[in-house]
Amino acid sequence: MILQGRLLVDPCQVPVPGWIRLGERRIAQIGAGDPPETPAAGDENSLICPGFIDAHIHLPQFDSMGCDGMGLLQWLGEIIFPAETRWLDQETACAQTRDAYRRMVRAGTLGYAGYLTSHVQGITAVEEAADRLPLRAIAGQVLMDRNAPGTLLEQPPAALQRAPRRRLSFSVNPRFAVSCSDELLASAAARLSGDTFLQTHLAESKRECELVAELFPDDPHYAAVYDRHHLLSDRTLLAHCVHLSDDEWALIAGRRCVVVHCPTANTFLSSGLFDLDAARAHGVRLAIGSDVAAGSEIDMPRIGRAMIEVAKMRAMSLQPAAYVPTPQEVWKLITCGNADALGFSGAGRLEVGADADLLLLKPRFEIDKHLISRLIYTWRDDYITHCVLDGQLIDRREL
């Protein structure tokens, strides 16, 4: 199968006309100029780019977006915990997961790292959804044993080793230290193996940090709670990290953890402005995520735009010399940067041998040196005409 269009290989370069031949689930050939045969999709006015990767999302929360006026802990109690309780019903869990998968693909998100609920029903639901739309995915059952409704606590842990699905793996997901006892964190560590990811939240809001200090008074700081239980490693995804001390940044950098910046969620809940300069100064590995439903956007280019805007807000109000990333930098982050952070080898890039997870776009402006900036700042779902998911061509209008 041949695709035709301008090839967005490097966001720092104006894409040139060309074509891509797809092989068995991978890019088999890339060429410049006119295609050697009639393309299955695309034309000289199309743009071909890698699919987007979301490094932090909650599948049960897609119907909970936009409930404003609360801080993190109140929002969890009033909005999110009741929503997640509904996944006790297997039919509800499956229907909502199928919907989340469709909505991600329609938005061009072809890979993610995310959270289910604490119920084993979520494992079955995501397996079923993955059979229909095989996104590259790391998903985990939420683990917690306190400070939540009883319907979410003490759920039996699902086995991490399931019937094999080539593009879906399961992670260990203690929600955050507020909802986890020492015993639960120790059991989470015991479930980790060499290739298993751990996903959790860290220092999202000030009140959360104060509560963790009350719950774990013998630990010098929040990150130390996780470190004491051997949960910080190069396969740890730490969402938010808005309120960290220098010691915590140094610890996270030393353990080679990935910090997942969630700019739309942090502003929506008024949690704070992420300190990109601190992350850069400590050499921390960085990814970016939508954090639906605290994040009210699914589209990763809009999340990238929010990252730039948060950095600009810091520069205007808190830190005049704050680093502001370019549109090209955030485009790399939502494609190959997130893919590399999640261990998705071959994803998020246009090159021979890479995964055939691609988008065909029809942007409504001239393709020139301002292309990436225009895509980031004017992004619309309907720029996408087709997706290629695991080598299969999908008309997004038919999802």
Q: Dump pLDDT digits (tens) for 330-343.
A: 999 999 999 999 99
Residue 237, SS3 per DSSP: strand
What pLDDT is attached to residue 399?
83
Structure tokens at 364: 């409504």
Share of the chain above pLDDT 70, in %: 99
Share of the chain above pLDDT 90, in %: 93
Q: What's the start-to-end Cα distance of the chain, in Å?
A: 21
Task: List Cβ neighbours of 372 (8 Å cut-off, separation of 6 or more).
Answer: 11, 327, 328, 331
DSSP-assigned beta bridge partners for residue 240: 202
Domains and CATH numbers, the chain: 2-50+349-398 (2.30.40.10), 52-341 (3.20.20.140)
What span, in angstroms and rounded, lies between the C-alpha atoms of 245 and 264? Answer: 22
Mean pLDDT (the chain, rounded): 96
Q: If you search the block for the tokens 């020139």, which residue do you land on?
A: 368
pLDDT tens by residue, 153-171: 978 888 887 766 889 999 9
> For residues 273 and 244, is the Cβ–Cβ distance under 8 A?
no
The pTM of the whole model exceeds 0.75:
yes
DSSP-assigned beta bridge partners for residue 107: none
Residue 85 CB coordination number (10 Å): 19
What pLDDT is attached to residue 154?
75
DSSP-assigned beta bridge partners for residue 258: 237, 285
* Amino acid residing at 343: G
> For residues 192 and 151, is the Cβ–Cβ distance under 8 A?
no
Structure tokens at 393: 């061509």
What pLDDT is attached to residue 103?
97
What span, in angstroms and rounded, lies between the C-alpha atoms of 89 and 101? Answer: 19
